[in-house]
Amino acid sequence: MLRLFSALFLLFGLQRISASHWSYPDRDLNEAFPNWGGICDTGKRQSPINLSKDKSLKGVFDKLKFENFNERQNGVTLVNNGHSIVLSNFSKQMEVKGGPLLDEYVVEQLHLHWWSEHTINNMRYPLEVHIVSRNKRYANVSMATNFKEGLTVIGVLYHVSNERSEAIEQIIEHLQDVKDYEKLDQPAHMKQSFVVRQLFPKLNGYITYSGSLTTPSCAEAVTWIILSETFPVTLAQVDSFKDTHYEANKVLKSNYRDIQKSYNRPVIFVDDVVGAANHMQVSVGAIIFMFIAIKFM
Ligand SMILES: [Zn+2]
């Protein structure tokens, strides 16, 4: 009996270790990308993938809606989980709906990857933010991961620039509070309010496909929405994240997963995202009409 218990303890103990001890390769040392196990290695709808317009399908959907993304979020928490910097605990509920989504999704957290996970036309970007939302049908994220439509992740890519991203800078200002190994998994509170929409001040279409989480469990439960517009960040800003510790005296130099096989999955490019152009046309038309009307009065 004791032997059975110790065998079970060993089994579950090992599972716990393997679940929490996955890691990224040290790319400076040309380390091979590790096998994370399970569906991470065997799945056929894994992420990230390379996105290329000339191999994609044209899509037109209802307007994609981001609700409350312009709200000032207070008391947002910042955590170093050893794999990324994660922001959560938003004071005002944000939702994503429309576009390719058939259901409504609630924003749960956002986190960062340095360098980008998705590539566009085989080009990598210095930073990628993931805004993770859960389908309202499911009570929590772990339940949602059991369903193909369980999650949607908005991917925001940043390009190298001399211009800083002020939203990213706000996150960097709090890195000191969480970056050390002793602070792992301990939330720090952001002192100022944070506006999620400032991470992507423009909308200019998106690319959508069906894929997975890019970290273990690698659940194939994600409708990806990668914004076409990219935003400026400085290399110095990106470097700030590379001082995040994941073990004592070990820093997370990068946290992006290798590109996965697409298996000919449909990747859909959508140009018409906000309908802002239509509003513009209407208002320009109205102004011209007013001019004409005034002239003939
Ligand atoms: Zn991510």
pLDDT tens, N- to C-terminus, the chain (297 residues): 445 444 444 444 444 444 468 999 999 999 999 999 999 999 999 999 999 988 999 999 999 999 999 999 999 999 999 999 999 999 999 999 999 999 999 999 999 999 999 999 999 999 999 999 999 999 999 999 999 999 999 999 999 999 999 999 999 999 999 999 999 999 999 999 999 999 999 999 999 999 999 999 999 999 999 999 999 999 999 999 999 999 999 999 999 999 999 999 999 999 977 644 444 444 444 544 555 555 554
The burial of 155, by beta-carbon neighbours within 10 Å (0-12 exposed, 13-18 middle, 19 or more buried), is given as buried
Q: How far is the CA of 46 from the centre of ligand 1 (A)?
A: 13
Report pLDDT for 274. 60
Q: Which domains does the chain have, with CATH numbers?
A: 27-281 (3.10.200.10)
Helix (H, G, I), strand (E, B) or coil at 158: strand
Report pLDDT for 277. 41
Rounded to whole angstroms, the Cα distance separating 93 from 101 reads 18
Cα–Cα separations (whole angstroms), residue 123 to 120, 148, 259: 5, 28, 11
Say which residue the tokens 């924003």 belong to: 107
Q: How far is the CA of 279 from the centre of ligand 1 (A)?
A: 34
The distance between the two most distant Cα atoms of the chain, rounded to a whole number of Å, is 99
Q: How far is the CA of 56 from the centre of ligand 1 (A)?
A: 23
Q: How far is the CA of 100 from the centre of ligand 1 (A)?
A: 20
Q: How far is the CA of 257 from the centre of ligand 1 (A)?
A: 9
Q: How far is the CA of 217 from the centre of ligand 1 (A)?
A: 12
Please, are residues 63 and 279 in contact by the beta-carbon 8 Å criterion? Answer: no
Report pLDDT for 20. 60
> How do strand 77-80 and strand 50-51 relate by DSSP bridges?
unpaired
Q: How far is the CA of 231 from the centre of ligand 1 (A)?
A: 17
Which residues are close to ligand 1, an ion, with C-beta < 5 A?
Answer: 130
Report pLDDT for 197. 98
Helix (H, G, I), strand (E, B) or coil at 12: helix
Q: How far is the CA of 83 from the centre of ligand 1 (A)?
A: 9
Q: How far is the CA of 9 from the centre of ligand 1 (A)?
A: 31
DSSP state of 4: H
Please, are residues 117 and 98 in contact by the beta-carbon 8 Å criterion? Answer: no
Report pLDDT for 293. 53
Report pLDDT for 38. 97
Q: How far is the CA of 204 from the centre of ligand 1 (A)?
A: 21
